[in-house]
Amino acid sequence: MGVVILAAGVWMVRLLATPGPPEPDEAGLVEVNVDYRCIVCGLQLTVTHVQGDEGTPPKHCREEMVFT
């Protein structure tokens, strides 16, 4: 039982010690105003900035969202 607790503690410390993803380059951000809707649950999302020409819709409920 002690080994399991020790392994879980080491795993959590390693998880907290890993750095997050790098910040996007602000020079490459493009202002947009695109509305998306999840076809599964109906969540609506407005995207105001994208990185470069990445116009791919985000995913929600494991499905790509659609333009509204």
Looking at residue 20, what is its pLDDT?
86
Q: Give a yes or no: residue 9 inside a domain.
A: no
Distances in Å between the alpha carbon of 50 and those of 3, 30, 37, 41, 62? Answer: 46, 5, 17, 24, 20
Q: Tokens representing 38?
A: 């999840």
Q: Residue with structure tokens 């890993």?
A: 18
pLDDT mean for each 10 residues of the chain (68 residues): 96 92 84 92 92 81 91
Q: Give a yes or no: residue 28 inside a domain.
A: yes
Q: Give a yes or no: residue 32 inside a domain.
A: yes
Looking at residue 68, what is its pLDDT?
85
Q: Give a yes or no: residue 49 inside a domain.
A: yes
Q: Give a yes or no: residue 10 inside a domain.
A: no
Looking at residue 61, what is its pLDDT?
94
Q: Give a yes or no: residue 29 inside a domain.
A: yes
Looking at residue 54, what is its pLDDT?
67
Number of domains making up the chain: 1
Q: Give a yes or no: residue 17 inside a domain.
A: no
Residue-range definition of the domain harbouring residue 44: 24-68
CA separation for the pair 48, 22 (Å, rounded): 19
Q: Give a yes or no: residue 3 inside a domain.
A: no
CA separation for the pair 41, 43 (Å, rounded): 6
